[in-house]
Structure 1
Amino acid sequence: MATLSLQCNTPLTGSVVVPGDKSMSHRALMLGSLAVGETVVTGLLEGEDVLATAAAMRAMGAEIGRDDAGLWHIHGVGVGGLLQPRVALDMGNSGTSTRLLMGVIASHRITATFIGDASLSARPMRRVTEPLSTMGAQFTTAPGERLPLTMTGCCPAVPIRYVLPVASAQVKSAVLLAGLNAPGITSVVERIATRDHSERMLRGFGATVTVEDSPEGRIIAVTGEAELRPQVLTVPGDISSAAFVIVASLIVPGSDVTITNVGVNPTRDGLLRALIAMGGNIEILSPRTVGGEPVADLRVRHGALTGIEVPPEWAASMIDEYPILFVAAAFASGSTTMRGLEELRVKESDRIAVMAQGLAACGVSVDELPDGLIVHGRSGDAVAGGATIAAMLDHRIAMSFAVLALNATAAVTVDDAAPIGTSFPGFVALFQQLGAVAR
């Protein structure tokens, strides 16, 4: 167990590139494995979560490898062509891998067992097993619909029309991926728009996907028994990883940092909207489109932040970024209220409770709500710090408190930095490049 404490005696300065988008990396591996031919991916995130997806697709027949230039080559087996895995699929800490792969397997006539680490094994899977069962898949789970989980797919699967009970890109994507090998049209209705990487990438691979607005919500439909074409893809930098650099640059006095080639998909940009509404000095430079995804460079400079009430409807566009937004709010003037975040209770940890406890231990006044948090900011002053934070095997908790430590009077130590490797390999090295010191 490796502890981590970042410190900063000078402003953060420089230009950096963050790792590739995790959501897109998972989907590129899965869809490349379901295409016939060779897909080539540049910028794939090489974190533990994405590598778990690659290992699972290899176990089901795809050939996946990385060349010396850092390009990933995927030789797919075609929709319907997945093979029976001979071993359990170890998902490590990756909820995205687990839920999306359950969708992929649901319409194939194979049986697979999913296992994971202690954190993943505590996360409920019912939100995915329920619609996939309706399509014909069968599941045997640990108590509480948790891992270890064994599923048997159904072929032909039954196409369904599924109304999402909660905003979830993972559930939406699982159903659409299952629909690829189901005869007819499978559709998902979402009342609140969630990240749309699946829809964009499915179209890019040649699937017939329609998106339309209705009084009931946004309807996304895929036509089954699809034939996917291999692609050449470039994965932009992950805004969920850039978030930690952005907030660090806002809270460390004198900082001026540029983050290049960041994905700014409008279904993922809630953190930028929130921080700009708080007065954050963020410039969006050179907006462009790369591989069908909006991309830009971000210049971020230190400045005063003001507490706001974050609209609950923004939650779907920034759900993974709330822990680091809580940190930004700790340095704002006034209070920041964030609600509509029930989803955070069932992430890698209960992110509301863990962040509330850690912030309080570092001298920040907070009010924990059933569905969110109110953070009473310190008007730009350093937090007291002096605490050791239990990250609870949660990479975003660990990184959030590592950033908080950059403007703390006494050291803030994260008890276990290892989970950071699941999504942001090179996190410490990047901050050292900008001027921070790691202990």
Structure 2
Amino acid sequence: MTAPDHPANRLRPHRFRALGPLTGRMRVPGDKSISHRAIMLSSLAVGHSTISGLLEGEDVLATAAAMRAMGTRVVRGDDGIWHVDGVGSGGLLQPETVLEMGNSGTSTRLLMGLVASHGITATFTGDASLSKRPMGRVIEPLSLIGADFTASPGGRLPLTMRGAHPGVPIRYELPVASAQVKSAVLLAGLNIEGETTVVEPVATRDHSERMLRGFGADLFVGEENGARVITIAGPCELQARDIVVPGDPSSAAFFVVAALLVPGSDLILENVGLNPTRSALFAVLRDMGGSIEEQDRREVGGEPVADLRVRHSALCGVEVDPAVAPAMIDEFPVLFVAAAMASGRTVTRGLEELRVKESDRLSAMAAALTLAGARVEETADGLVIDGRGGDPLPGTLEGTRVATHLDHRIAMSMAIAGSRSVDGVEIDDVTPIATSFPAFETLLDEAAR
């Protein structure tokens, strides 16, 4: 017999059914990557910063709680604007409790970077999903800086680290493209005397570089032998700023795909961030025949944004260039949904990184789409999907549920699959969605009214 408090009893299964046309205007939550960094850098700045449009999902709230635990004042005003009183670079305090990261790998890896160059000790814990994710790729460069780690087997959480003060400036070449590892090293460099350098053979999202410059850091970006080289000169005294967070393109992606797939849809998504290191999905969907029009392109807080008008389109399968993977790594699950209903074959390669996300997203999406009636072949580094030529997916049988593996993007992607299905798609748990997009279900229903 299952105990009353067993995790299985806390699941919230839900069947997502076919929707009518998605129309009108909507605004998606603030960008998660930028929200994390806004709280962290405001906390290290001198003075009072404000943040408008912050994503208030569980992941970002975990970052806010961790910064409070290390001595900063981070509060939400009644008007939705967040206020941060920074402690200055080098001013973080010893946390009195463990830092609970929930499901947020970004929070964990970037905060490890901050702690690495402070003379404090911090213990990081997370949920079952996060505790399976390896932290070795961050531990390696931060150890070179001088931080010391006691981790669970495999370099996983729970993990205790002791920062180094003074830390040692390093030059580190990323063995695998990772914005989180790059950012962790650069954040550590804020409180290290000398130049800390990261070399990335493949460019990754550059939110950290943009925001560090915005706060006044001495940061330089160059190129050597085709590689991108980022150097930060420390220690840095950051200055408080008022920040406006653009809409998250990863959140917008679900509604873009839904509007492309559901006949009669004509939807405008407002204030979507179009950072070129993040927006490759929209280019791929256009290559597939998707009607995605940019309106009122502008700049908000140093980031390019636009309103996106998306109309139902007949999509065709494509072979996705592996070179664009870093610029859409989180959007592949929902791209797989679009491919499942396109005409022809879609081939993706070079996606090994998806196997070490909140779940093994290649295996999870292959199994989920197959259960819903799609034709999917899983390879070592991608998926091959033969689309249904514009026809809806059959959906999952009654009593059959898609396994989300505590992964918010699997849950939302399969919700979109259900919106263009015959019998609906039932997922085993909608609670992970709250980590990044608490209003997802509400907005989906409102757009289809």
Following the alignment from structure 2 to structure 1, what is the Cα–Cα distance between the partners of residues 19 and 361? Answer: 29
Deviation, 1:9, is 4.4
Q: Deviations over 1:338-382 (max 9, x none)?
A: 111000000000000010011111111111011110111001001
Q: Which residue of 1 aligns with 2:407?
A: 394
Q: Secondary structure at the match of 2:429?
A: coil
Deviation, 1:6, is 2.4
Q: Which amino acid aligns with 2:431?
A: A
1:433 aligns with 2:446: yes
The range that moved more, 379-388 or 321-330, is: 379-388
Q: Which residue of 1 aligns with 2:333?
A: 323
The range that moved more, 310-319 or 382-391, is: 382-391
Q: Which amino acid aligns with 2:220?
A: T
Alignment of 1:81-120 (within 5 A): 81-120=91-130
Alignment of 1:131-280 (within 5 A): 131-280=141-290
Q: Which residue of 2 aligns with 1:53?
A: 63
Q: Which residue of 2 aligns with 1:341?
A: 351
Q: Which residue of 1 aligns with 2:8?
A: none
Following the alignment from structure 1 to structure 2, what is the Cα–Cα distance between the partners of residues 372 and 135? Answer: 35
1:419 aligns with 2:429: no
Q: Secondary structure at the match of 2:41?
A: helix
Q: Which residue of 2 aligns with 1:77?
A: 87
Deviation, 1:305, is 0.4
Q: Which among 332, 340, 348 is matched to residue 342 of structure 2? A: 332
Q: Which among 364, 367, 390 is matched to residue 354 of structure 1? A: 364
1:125 aligns with 2:138: no
Q: Which amino acid aligns with 2:342?
A: A
The answer on whether the counterparts of 2:288 and 2:315 sit within 8 Å (CA) in structure 1 is yes
The answer on whether the counterparts of 1:189 and 1:216 sit within 8 Å (CA) in structure 2 is no
Q: Which among 396, 411, 416 is matched to residue 403 of structure 1? A: 416
Q: Secondary structure at the match of 2:68?
A: helix
Aligned CA RMSD, in angstroms, stands at 0.8
Q: Deviations over 1:210-248 (max 9, x none)?
A: 001120500011011100000000000000000000000
Q: Which among 282, 290, 294 is matched to residue 292 of structure 2? A: 282
Q: Which among 301, 309, 312 is matched to residue 319 of structure 2? A: 309
The range that moved more, 379-388 or 401-410, is: 379-388
Q: Which among 13, 21, 28 is matched to residue 18 of structure 1? A: 28
The answer on whether the counterparts of 2:19 and 2:262 sit within 8 Å (CA) in structure 1 is no
Q: Which residue of 2 aligns with 1:34?
A: 44
Q: Which residue of 1 aligns with 2:5?
A: none
Q: Which amino acid aligns with 1:302?
A: H
Following the alignment from structure 2 to structure 1, what is the Cα–Cα distance between the partners of residues 205 and 19? Answer: 37
Following the alignment from structure 2 to structure 1, what is the Cα–Cα distance between the partners of residues 350 and 189? Answer: 30
The answer on whether the counterparts of 1:398 and 1:416 sit within 8 Å (CA) in structure 2 is yes
Following the alignment from structure 1 to structure 2, what is the Cα–Cα distance between the partners of residues 5 and 227? Answer: 51
1:64 aligns with 2:58: no
Q: Secondary structure at the match of 2:422?
A: strand
Q: Secondary structure at the match of 2:394?
A: strand
Q: Which amino acid aligns with 1:31?
A: L
Following the alignment from structure 2 to structure 1, what is the Cα–Cα distance between the partners of residues 19 and 166? Answer: 61
TM-score normalized by the length of structure 2: 0.96
Q: Which amino acid aligns with 2:311?
A: R
Q: Deviations over 1:307-347 (max 9, x none)?
A: 00000000000000000000000111101001110000000
Following the alignment from structure 1 to structure 2, what is the Cα–Cα distance between the partners of residues 27 and 185? Answer: 21
Q: Which residue of 2 aligns with 1:300?
A: 310
Following the alignment from structure 2 to structure 1, what is the Cα–Cα distance between the partners of residues 20 and 417? Answer: 15
Deviation, 1:253, is 0.8
The answer on whether the counterparts of 1:187 and 1:219 sit within 8 Å (CA) in structure 2 is yes
Q: Secondary structure at the match of 1:385?
A: coil
Q: Secondary structure at the match of 1:154?
A: coil
Gaps of 5+ in 1: none
The range that moved more, 2-11 or 37-46, is: 2-11
Q: Secondary structure at the match of 1:82?
A: coil
Following the alignment from structure 1 to structure 2, what is the Cα–Cα distance between the partners of residues 261 and 398? Answer: 24
Q: Which residue of 1 aligns with 2:7?
A: none
Gaps of 5+ in 2: 1-10
The answer on whether the counterparts of 1:4 and 1:402 sit within 8 Å (CA) in structure 2 is no
The answer on whether the counterparts of 1:8 and 1:435 sit within 8 Å (CA) in structure 2 is no
Following the alignment from structure 1 to structure 2, what is the Cα–Cα distance between the partners of residues 195 and 425? Answer: 24
Q: Which amino acid aligns with 2:221?
A: V
Following the alignment from structure 2 to structure 1, what is the Cα–Cα distance between the partners of residues 203 and 259? Answer: 29
Following the alignment from structure 1 to structure 2, what is the Cα–Cα distance between the partners of residues 129 and 103? Answer: 9
Q: Secondary structure at the match of 1:402?
A: helix
Instruction: List structure 1 segments (4+ residues) > 3 angstroms apart after TM superposition.
Output: none
Q: Deviations over 1:364-418 (max 9, x none)?
A: 1111011110111001001111242110000000000000001111121111000
Q: Secondary structure at the match of 1:195?
A: coil
